[in-house]
């Protein structure tokens, strides 16, 4: 038996500790937003956060997540259910096409903005190069991240004016 914390929920699972986290999330836990693309850490479709850092869940054995915090695409809305600024920006910029890579793209983008709140295009390229988009949404991913960065930057000020 092994215990996982995913999106703040606790799961007790009877499972081979070597099983890649990806399949545990998709099959045992039943969260299907995280995708399988290559299985060898080449495409980024399976990106989730482990203690806030982006990882490839297809090559991460589930035991490595025990005692740590896993966040998937289903767990990034805020407490009141509002979309994360990156998700909002993705809608504004109309980023997704087929959409299959986008959970992974969004998880990588959020991790980037947590580390670097005002990335330029080179920072974006470096942080996002592990995520393939076969539909070629790269120009919009750049715009989406820039927009989200601005939204995050002005969010606290907005709050202040409302408070004041």
Q: What does the binding site for ligand FES look like in residue numbers (CB under 6 A)?
A: 36-39, 41-46, 56, 58, 96-102, 133-135, 137
- Cα 66 → chain centroid: 19
Q: How far is the CB of 157 from another protein (least distance, A)?
A: 25
- Kindly calculate the radius of gyration of the chain based on its CA atoms and give it in whole angstroms: 16
**Pick 9 or 159: Cβ nearer another protein:** 9
- For residue 159, give every residue at least 6 positions away whose Cβ sits within 8 Å of its Cβ, in sequence order, or none: none
Chain residues that interact with another protein, rule: CB under 8 A: 16, 19-20, 23, 27-28, 30-40, 42-43, 45, 72-74, 77, 83, 87, 90-91, 94-103, 106, 124-126, 128-142
Helical spans, DSSP H, in the chain: 21-23, 85-92, 102-115, 121-128, 138-163
**Pick 15 or 38: Cβ nearer ligand FES:** 38
């Amino acid at each position: 038996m092994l215990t996982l914390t995913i999106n703040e929920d606790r799961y007790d699972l009877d499972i081979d500790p070597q099983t890649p986290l990806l399949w545990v999330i998709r099959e045992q836990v039943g969260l299907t937003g995280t995708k399988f693309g290559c299985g060898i850490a080449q495409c980024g479709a399976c990106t989730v956060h482990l203690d806030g850092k982006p990882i490839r869940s297809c090559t991460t054995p589930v035991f490595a997540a025990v005692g740590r915090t896993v966040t998937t695409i289903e767990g990034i809305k805020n407490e009141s259910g509002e979309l994360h600024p990156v998700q909002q920006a993705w809608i504004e910029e109309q980023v997704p096409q087929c959409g299959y890579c986008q959970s992974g793209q969004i998880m990588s983008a959020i991790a980037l903005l947590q580390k670097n709140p005002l990335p330029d295009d080179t920072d974006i390229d470096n942080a996002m190069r592990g995520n393939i988009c076969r539909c070629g949404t790269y120009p919009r991913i750049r715009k989406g991240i820039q927009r989200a960065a601005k939204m995050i930057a002005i969010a606290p000020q907005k709050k202040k004016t409302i408070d004041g």
